[in-house]
Amino acid sequence: MHIHILGICGTFMGGLAVLAKEAGHKVTGCDANVYPPMSTQLQAQGIELIEGFAPDQVNLQPDLFVIGNVVSRGNPLMEEILNRGLAYVSGPQWIGEHILRNKWVLSVAGTHGKTTTSSMLAWILEDAGYDPGFLIGGVPMNFGISARLSGKGKESSFFVIEADEYDTAFFDKRSKFVHYRTKTAVLNNLEYDHADIFPDLGAIETQFHHLVRTVPGVGRLIVNGREESLRRVVARGCWSDKEWFGTDATNVIEGAAGWALKTHEDDSFDVIFNGALQGTVNWSLTGEHNRMNALASIAAARHVGVTPAVAIEALQKFENVKRRMEVRGTVTDITVYDDFAHHPTAIATTVAGLRKKVGNARILAVLEPRSNTMKLGTMKEALPGSLTDADLVFGYGAKAGKDALGWNLSEALAPLGRNASTYDELDTLVQAITRAARPGDHVLVMSNGGFGGVHQKILDALAQ
């Protein structure tokens, strides 16, 4: 089959393209932003890319157009597809029908930690010899790729997928994850996000319950017992086995199993299931959020037959994910990190994790609030509180273009006083960081985009 993918350079659609190519399909695609690294990754797979959405792309005569959720009505190619009555389908539906059918699908959903938890889970299964396929919204360092059908060139019955609650396509406003035929579902956490498509938290809870409704009776839910929102989701109805993690309260639902953890000073932690010690994870990762991610992955792996002892051993070899507290370089004893954090809760946990790691050393937090939710200003009041563990804060908001903020970043960060400053030009931002940094500092850059290559710009400026 020849498929032509609209919006191919997005993380999800790019992963779909790799899977489709590996499955033997002819794959071409187009996007408005055909540039490295996604463009080079796809071209290395032999996938032809076209810049833009010109309507004459219908002359490629693919068997099917696969539509990403970046495409909306008014897109010239989409309008031509509709006018000609050509066959099209959403990316998540195509994945569900062509990749995930007849697989044991392990889906990881949640506002935060999806990429890290999916990576941990895929690595546990890999280390245990399950050779899983996976589609993850980042690059797990243990694998070096974000998507594959299976390991060692053989068919695998298991597939780990990062299950996003964002909408499927302009013609399907359900969350992506309802298409995935999930058998093991991790519900990691649930907060308000995606203000561009969800009016309130209750609307997102409804989508999560749609996911719960798709899990079969022989399936299992792995649910964060600390989250009131997820307790409400499960209380709406559950037709599968369930296990709670992060709490000893096995009576959250009568008879449900419970996973707990006990943290030690060095960030190692004991894993406890139904009150019984399963083992201790010794690793280099920091932060309660990572320990909770690990607990969820251990519980999910157990559903497919991996013992906690084997999962714990695997996690001690886990190398994290690119752009998750990734060290980009050190110059004159000043370390620059890259992190994907963009929601206030994720920002707070990221800064807190670094604070525990570096002790009293100074943290210079550099933030670009560019997610759709942040650009709308929905959570701007929460930003100062999320950055209190940093010594200095440098905020960046583009003056114009698609990443421009619709609100005043300087006013939002004003509660931080002189510790915060804001900039609308990248070079000026880099100069300010360079002037402020001194040996022993840790520069933490947080954005869900490329941030104009600011990490390397900072390193180059420090070197000069």
For residue 239, the domain's CATH number is 3.40.1190.10
Q: What is the CATH number of the domain that holds 39?
A: 3.40.50.720
Both 128 and 87 in one domain: the answer is no
Our CA angle for 217, 298, 99, nearest 5°, is 55
pLDDT in tens, 370-396: 776 676 677 788 888 889 889 999 988
341 vs 302, residue with greater confidence:
302
pTM score, whole prediction = 0.79
- Cα(135)–Cα(103) distance, rounded to whole angstroms? 13
The answer to whether the beta carbons of residues 230 and 187 sit under 8 Å apart is yes
Whether residue 89 is contained in a domain is answered as yes
The residue among 63, 93, 123 that closes a domain is 93
Last residue of a domain, which of 261, 288, 315? 315
Query: For residue range 304-357, what is the model confidence (pLDDT) as tens digits?
Result: 999 999 999 999 999 877 777 788 889 889 999 998 777 788 888 889 888 888
400/355 same-domain check = yes
- Residues 348, 413: one domain? yes
Whether 377 maps to a domain, the answer reads: yes
Residue 361 to residues 31, 202, 300, 357, 389, Cα–Cα distance (Å): 43, 41, 37, 9, 11
Question: Is the domain of 309 the same as that of 359?
Answer: no
* Residue 273 and residue 345 share a domain: no
Note whether 128 and 72 are same-domain residues: no
Q: Which domain range does residue 8 map to?
A: 2-93
User: Strands 326-331 and 334-339, how do they pair?
Assistant: antiparallel
**Better-scored residue on pLDDT, 275 or 254:** 275
Domain membership flag for residue 232: yes
Q: Is 210 within a domain?
A: yes
Q: In this structure, is residue 194 part of a structural domain?
A: yes
Do both 269 and 288 map to the same domain? yes
The reply to whether 320 falls in a domain is no
The count of domains in the chain is 3
- 177 and 269 within one domain: yes
Average pLDDT, the chain: 89
- 352-383: b (≥16 Cβ within 10 Å) or e: bbbbebbeeebbbbbbbbbbebbbebbbbeeb
Q: Of the residues 315, 347, 382, which one is the last residue of a structural domain?
A: 315
Q: pLDDT digits over 106-127, tens only?
A: 999 998 888 999 999 999 999 9
Domain membership of residue 160 (yes or no) is yes
Same-domain check for residues 128 and 162: yes
**Residue 321 resides in a domain:** no
User: Is the same domain home to 146 and 294?
Assistant: yes
Residues 120, 78 share a domain? no
126: which 2 tokens?
A: 């890999």
Q: Are residues 272 and 390 in the same domain?
A: no
- What is the predicted pLDDT for the residue at 200? 85
> How many residues are given for the chain?
464
**The predicted structure's pLDDT at residue 408:** 83
CATH of the domain at 360: 3.90.190.20
